[in-house]
Structure 1
Amino acid sequence: MFRFLTLSAPLFALALSACAPTAATDVPARGAAATPANLPAMNTFGSPRVASPSRSNTSIAADFLDLTFQMESGRVIDRMSRFEGPITVAVTSGAPASLNADLDQLLSRLRTEAGIDISRSSSATASITIETMPRARMQRVVPQAACFVVPRVSSWSEFRRARSGRTLDWTTLDTRERVAVFIPSDVSPQEVRDCLHEEIAQALGPLNDLYRLSDSVFNDDNFNAVLTGFDMLVLRTYYDGALRSGMTRGQVSAALPGILARHNPRGGSVAGGQGSETPRAWITAIEAALGPGSSDEARITAAERALRMAQQRQWTDTRLAFSYFALGRLTLSRDVETSIQAFQSASTIFERVAPRGIQSAHVDMQLAAFALSAGRTTEALRLTERAMPAATQAQNASLLSTLLMIRAEALDDTGRASEARSVRLDSLAWGRYGFGSNAAVSARLTEVAALSPGR
């Protein structure tokens, strides 16, 4: 229901400057990276090519039930609820310019890939109403949320009036009729789009997130931000004619084998059981590590606690890898060796669980920044080249932009100035979508440029 704020991407210049070798005084340093006065036009993504889930239908059925019959808080949902009949989506006035194009693309995918009867509407009584507002205004009421979705209302004013009662309690729904999605208006186009995908997916279907899922937006690790093939299968299943609002977990469980056999026939020939539950203590530790309001020391301690729990439970999946990833991020500026080792451990696990996936791309970006700072340009070029296809596939413009910025610096350091200029311009075009404002793009360019020993 809520997309929570987490720590922003690390400031590479501050975190890694200690790794950079000192240039000899008789070697002229390359000038500071300059952001062009007129940035190139913003790059945008087309419709993604998504892969079908590779897990067994037995595993997917277990995921579906855990996603559908439990809230993120752990509260049990007794009966399934969904929209019955055609679904309409309205956007209130004042939305960012990029929102409408991304919304149209999302709705097209929901119709085509999930088979949902969903369309735009200008009606004040639309099934789903999307309202945008400045982030500060939204967070005065819901401080920790980047964006969120609530039932039984269609506007911010209705939401404010209904907060004191049970109106907004998803567990009391029989059938979904009206839902409101609230998104900040003063963030990057990518963040607006990410909110659209996650909140509309939960407005339509499951209300839970599972950290064990490596290929889904229904996961609070926020690696996947655009609906995946697994997510579309979940939503197609959610709106299958064999299911309806009011069904119990037992009734849905009995129907799932037949539904999944129709929608995912290849899953019937894949072996595999259900994933293990994630204890609340581990989730709490991860939230403390990556959430706001704590000191660096407290965050690192929380990440270490999450890692110990993952190891003690002998997890071998994305939860163990994410524990290492969190520790790597948090120790960037304090303990370089620990950070590198944590990222390398995360990389090994991510590559086994989701080869060449978006998780590995995030780790490769961190390791490429280390390599650039240490003057290992060949390694930086190799890591960025390996990560870019996954960043593109996942439509993560901020990650793609950062990878290209690192790559441009490495190319400059190897004397390939013309190629570096071309790559840097491309990074700025993606940065406009991923980071938003010209100032934010320029700041990231400066951070990455400061890593280079040639500066």
Structure 2
Amino acid sequence: MRRAASLALALILAGCSAQPLRDTPTRANIADSTLPPMKTFAAPRPSAPVRSNGNIAADFLSLHFELESGRQLPVFTRFETPITVRVTGQAPPSLGADLSRLLGRLRGEAGIDIRQVSGGMANITIEAVSRDDIRRALPQAACFVVPNVSSLEEFRRERRSQRTNWSLLRDRNRLGIFVPADSSPQEVRDCLHEELAQAIGPLNDLYRLPDSVFNDDNVHTVLTGFDMLILRATYAPELRSGMTRAQVAAALPGILARLNPAGAQVAPEPASATPRNWIDAVQTALGPGASASERRAAANEALITARRQGWTDHRRAFSHYIAGRMLQMTDPEAAQQEYGTALHFLAQTPGTELQRAYVITQTAAYAIASGDGATALRQIRPQLAVAERAENAALLSTLMLLQAEALDLTGRHDRARAVRLDSLGWARYGFGSDWAVRSKMQEVASLNPRKRLGG
């Protein structure tokens, strides 16, 4: 399930929050524009997972045999036949190309027999509906996937029945995915990646995963190398629907040795579960509906829990990032200290380059607001390639807009104009409508003290 208020950056993403139906996995009409044409990404460049096969096997079991609510699933399920996908509803112009690209990746990287059909029944129906329709069906969800339905109308009729209960599923034959037709192209694409991956693969999300879309922090927005390995293992010939956790666990070492031989050379790392009180605190602090005091209390609870757990990974960093978010308006200097601590822990955690890029939008914005363009440029430059590789146009365009302001502060006005213009094509993909793009431009420009003072 993609959440309606993203747990990533204030400047970057808006995406899902508290779980409406606890066991339901969830994650644009483009007007004529006077802005430059929308840009799209070229060939994907996913990074291979850097963890041991022992850790990946444990991740696989948690992803496939647990739901986000913590409920255990009795058996493994997947599609046992070639998978067909069709699109219905009011699909925005970008959806077709992004879906074709995703299906190509699933065939090439995960080895899954999946194809799009233009008519008739399909195993998976992707229905493009309005955000309001989605919220009426599942309040606070941005998009979601349900078993044994092919339309939102059918889901409304069957939502209380056993047919739509994931915990009762024993095999997969027909599923419905519901995505917002009136969101930005990137939000639609992100929904396609997360919901289609959960339609054909694991249903759970795990905060302990630093390099996966199967993580409620919404940092990764397209399927990663780790995700493709998990999906390829899901469709390994050694597995079949109906297998128990113990049976799958027995088969995984051989499967992963074949699919990921590099992981056999990596020593396993101790892994800790993510306690429910930390998850609840994070979702209260960054999700909708809480008061300012409730958010601050929740952020403090998340940080206390992270310290008690002894974490030194991206979850500890995320806790400090949240604390910085809560302090940003009232004590910006203290917020920067929290962001610095977050970067310290991220530097110790492999595979967290994208998380670091997110935090640096905050530290670079502070440097710009302080009139220090040179520091902002040093921070921003390495992150541009990270955002591009992650195919995150919202992040990339924001970094470029920040870069333009930093260039202005250092007197390179021509270069600033060129970077700002170049950012707009990415912003159109990341943020969608002209008004959203212009709003983002104004938001970033307002950081520049010379512009605030009319200089």
Q: Is the 8 A contact 1:358 1:391 kept in 2?
A: yes
AA paired with 1:303? A
SS in 2 for 1:89: strand
For residue 316 of structure 1, report the CA deviation from its aligned partner: 1.1
Aligned to 1:73: 69
Aligned to 2:267: 271
For residue 10 of structure 1, report the CA deviation from its aligned partner: 2.9
Aligned to 1:259: 255
d(CA) in 2 for partners of 1:284 and 1:356? Answer: 23
SS in 2 for 1:119: strand
Aligned to 1:349: 345
AA paired with 2:148? R
AA paired with 1:190? Q
Q: 1:86 to 1:7 in 2, by over 3 A?
A: closer
For residue 65 of structure 1, report the CA deviation from its aligned partner: 0.4
d(CA) in 2 for partners of 1:314 and 1:356? Answer: 19
d(CA) in 2 for partners of 1:427 and 1:391? Answer: 12
1:226 lines up with 2:222 in the alignment: yes
* Mapping of residues 270-419 of structure 1, within 5 Å: 270-273=266-269, 275-354=271-350, 357-419=353-415
Cα deviation code 1:365-403 (max 9, x no counterpart): 110000000011101111110211111111111111111
Cα deviation code 1:408-442 (max 9, x no counterpart): 11111221111111100011111000000000000
For residue 356 of structure 1, report the CA deviation from its aligned partner: 6.3
AA paired with 2:350? A
> Identity of aligned pairs, percent?
54
AA paired with 2:254? G
Q: Is the 8 A contact 1:7 1:290 kept in 2?
A: yes
AA paired with 2:241? S
Q: Is the 8 A contact 2:7 2:218 kept in 1?
A: no
Cα deviation code 1:112-136 (max 9, x no counterpart): 0000000001234211100111111
Aligned to 2:168: 172
Q: 1:8 to 1:361 in 2, by over 3 A?
A: closer
Q: 1:356 to 1:84 in 2, by over 3 A?
A: closer
SS in 2 for 1:10: coil
Q: Is the 8 A contact 2:41 2:391 kept in 1?
A: yes
SS in 2 for 1:392: helix
For residue 3 of structure 1, report the CA deviation from its aligned partner: 3.6
TM-score (ref. length: structure 2): 0.92
Cα deviation code 1:228-266 (max 9, x no counterpart): 000000000000000000000000000000000000001
Cα deviation code 1:134-185 (max 9, x no counterpart): 1112102211111100000011111000012121111111110001100111
**Misfit runs of 4+, over 4 Å:** none
Aligned to 2:246: 250
Cα deviation code 1:62-112 (max 9, x no counterpart): 000011100001000010111011001100031010011000000000000
d(CA) in 2 for partners of 1:282 and 1:356? Answer: 20
For residue 11 of structure 1, report the CA deviation from its aligned partner: 6.0
SS in 2 for 1:212: coil
Aligned to 2:149: 153
SS in 1 for 2:146: strand
* Mapping of residues 169-208 of structure 1, within 5 Å: 169-208=165-204
Aligned to 1:215: 211
Q: Is the 8 A contact 1:114 1:236 kept in 2?
A: yes
d(CA) in 2 for partners of 1:356 and 1:81? Answer: 30
* Mapping of residues 56-67 of structure 1, within 5 Å: 56-67=52-63
1:10 lines up with 2:6 in the alignment: no
Q: 1:123 to 1:145 in 2, by over 3 A?
A: same
AA paired with 2:106? L
Aligned to 2:29: none
Q: Is the 8 A contact 1:189 1:434 kept in 2?
A: yes
Q: 1:177 to 1:163 in 2, by over 3 A?
A: same
SS in 2 for 1:390: helix
Residue among 102, 105, 118 paired with 1:106: 102
Q: Is the 8 A contact 1:216 1:228 kept in 2?
A: yes
Aligned to 1:40: 36
SS in 2 for 1:180: strand
AA paired with 1:375? G
Q: Which moved more, 1:342-351 or 1:261-270?
A: 342-351
* Mapping of residues 16-31 of structure 1, within 5 Å: none
Gaps of 5+ in 1: 13-36
Q: Is the 8 A contact 1:42 1:433 kept in 2?
A: yes
AA paired with 1:434? G
d(CA) in 2 for partners of 1:184 and 1:39? Answer: 23
Q: Is the 8 A contact 1:357 1:390 kept in 2?
A: yes
d(CA) in 2 for partners of 1:399 and 1:93? Answer: 29
AA paired with 1:225? T
Q: Which moved more, 1:117-126 or 1:306-315?
A: 117-126
SS in 2 for 1:347: helix
For residue 355 of structure 1, report the CA deviation from its aligned partner: 5.6
Gaps of 5+ in 2: 13-32
SS in 1 for 2:171: coil
Aligned to 1:82: 78
SS in 1 for 2:163: coil
Residue among 159, 163, 166 paired with 1:163: 159
Which structure exhibits the higher relative contact order, with contacts defined as CA atoms closer than 8 Å and separated by 6 or more residues?
1
Q: Is the 8 A contact 2:171 2:242 kept in 1?
A: yes
